[in-house]
């Protein structure tokens, strides 16, 4: 049997290709754009097919002959991207994949990579969202809209045509083979590469999960997931203070000590946007980012995936250690020689 992975050059896709090959049950076909950076697939025994999920014809060619389809392709960009492209890639891509399968491609199961941003936000730290939580995001930015609309379109089309769709909703994914790197890694890399110790951490908290664990979740969803259901793949809920403090501890740096609240963050974001308009640079913080992430608890429960799929996730420290080591080993950390030997000398270049 053969499995198709769309967006296979990305963080989730590259890890998923490895998990599928290690499982040994299926050959892997990788759908990538002609301009994709293929370092995440280097050395893997996969069939490379060039195409674009927005092009129905190339999707149909890629799907044909595959028993399982993992639709991971997306434009994961929050700052500086083209909003229309981000949304169109997600929504049209999901529809093209489901329509190709609906035309009789012989696919037995399709897994859609959505996101927890399509689930909603916790009202309090002690009340994490689950799969039944309402989508309560106010003034969402384009990536949030894209993931929500794509999931809704895919579930509606699958229900209408009786297609074997399962949805997975990863939280903030970190890990090996993040060659871009993704927005989830921004705060980690900012702390690691700061010329001076960073004094501030954002108020609120979030959830991080290892890319390899997310890949295993996809495989389990294909095998054990109930058709028409969604499964949150989330790790440990933690305050930003503790996340950045753990990164600092791993890297032998000073811990950020002062809380940065929503109002001040919003003001800094506005100033950075103004500076970016003058310089042409991409701002590290925007008003939209401040509004959607600072002072907010992005907390989620993976209980359904644990109970129904038998899925487990690494604890936060292990997720961060693996990510820091990989970034250090692959040239993403300036002056990596400053890091403890156990960090700088580990992680692997592959």
Cβ-proximal residues to 93 (8 Å cutoff; 6+ apart), any chain: 6, 53, 54, 59, 71, 73, 74, 150
Is the distance from CB of 111 to CB of 218 less than 8 angstroms? yes
d(CA 108, CA 114): 19
Looking from the CA of 327 toward its CB, the CA atoms found within 13 Å total 30
Specify the pLDDT at position 317.
Answer: 97
Q: Which fold has domain 2-176+209-235+301-314?
A: Rossmann fold (3.40.50)
Q: Maximum distance among all alpha carbons in the chain?
A: 58
Q: Locate all alpha helices (DSSP H) within the chain, ordered by sequence.
A: 11-23, 56-63, 83-102, 142-161, 186-193, 211-224, 240-251, 262-279, 287-293, 303-309, 316-329, 341-344
Nearest CA among 165, 166, 164, 188 for reference residue 175 = 188
Phi, psi of 83 (to 5 degrees): -55, -40
- What predicted TM-score, i.e. pTM, was given to this entire model? 0.94
Provide the pLDDT for residue 280: 86
**Nearest-angstrom CA–CA distance, 243 and 100:** 42
| Contact between residue 33 and residue 53 where contact means Cβ atoms under 8 Å apart | no
Closest CA to 114 of 158, 174, 72, 63: 72
pLDDT of the residue at 128: 96
Is the separation of the CB atoms in 133 and 119 below 8 Å?
Answer: yes
Separation of alpha carbons 10 and 72, rounded Å:
8
Tens place of pLDDT per residue across the chain (350 aa): 899 999 999 999 999 999 999 998 779 999 999 999 999 999 999 999 999 999 999 999 999 999 999 999 999 988 878 999 999 999 999 999 999 999 876 899 999 999 999 998 887 888 999 999 999 998 899 999 999 999 999 999 999 999 999 999 999 999 999 999 999 999 999 999 988 889 999 999 999 999 999 999 999 999 999 999 999 999 999 999 999 999 999 999 999 999 999 999 999 999 999 999 999 888 888 999 899 899 999 999 999 999 999 999 999 999 999 999 999 999 999 876 677 766 765 555 55
């Amino acid at each position: 049997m053969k499995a198709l992975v769309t967006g296979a050059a990305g963080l989730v896709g590259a890890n998923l290709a490895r998990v599928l090959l290690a499982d040994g049950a299926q050959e892997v076909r990788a759908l990538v754009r002609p301009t994709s950076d293929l370092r995440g697939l280097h050395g893997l025994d996969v069939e490379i097919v060039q195409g674009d999920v927005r092009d129905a014809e190339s999707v149909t060619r890629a799907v044909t002959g595959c028993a399982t389809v993992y639709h991971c392709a997306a434009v994961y960009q929050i700052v500086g991207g083209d909003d229309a492209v981000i949304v169109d890639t997600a929504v049209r891509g999901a529809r093209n994949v489901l329509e190709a399968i609906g035309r009789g491609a012989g696919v037995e199961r399709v897994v859609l990579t959505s996101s927890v941003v399509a689930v909603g936000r916790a009202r309090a730290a002690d009340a994490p969202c689950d799969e039944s939580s309402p989508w309560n995001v106010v003034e969402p930015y384009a990536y949030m809209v894209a993931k929500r609309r794509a999931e809704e379109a895919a579930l509606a089309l699958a229900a209408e045509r009786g297609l074997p769709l399962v949805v997975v909703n990863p939280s903030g994914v970190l890990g090996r083979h993040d060659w871009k790197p993704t927005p989830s890694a921004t705060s980690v890399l900012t702390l690691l590469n700061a010329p001076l110790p960073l004094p501030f951490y954002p108020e609120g908290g979030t959830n991080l999960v290892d890319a390899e664990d997310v890949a295993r979740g996809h495989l389990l969803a294909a095998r054990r997931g109930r058709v028409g259901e969604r499964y949150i793949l989330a790790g440990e809920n933690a305050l930003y203070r503790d996340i950045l403090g753990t990164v600092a501890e791993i890297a032998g740096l000073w811990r950020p000590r002062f809380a940065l609240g929503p109002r001040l963050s919003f003001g800094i974001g506005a100033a950075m946007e103004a500076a970016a308009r003058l310089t042409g640079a991409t701002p590290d913080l925007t008003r939209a980012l401040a509004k959607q992430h600072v002072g907010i608890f992005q907390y989620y429960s993976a209980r359904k995936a644990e109970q129904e799929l038998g899925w487990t996730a690494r604890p936060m420290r292990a997720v961060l250690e693996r990510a820091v080591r990989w970034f250090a080993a692959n040239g993403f950390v300036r002056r990596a020689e400053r890091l403890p030997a156990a960090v700088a000398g580990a992680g692997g270049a592959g």
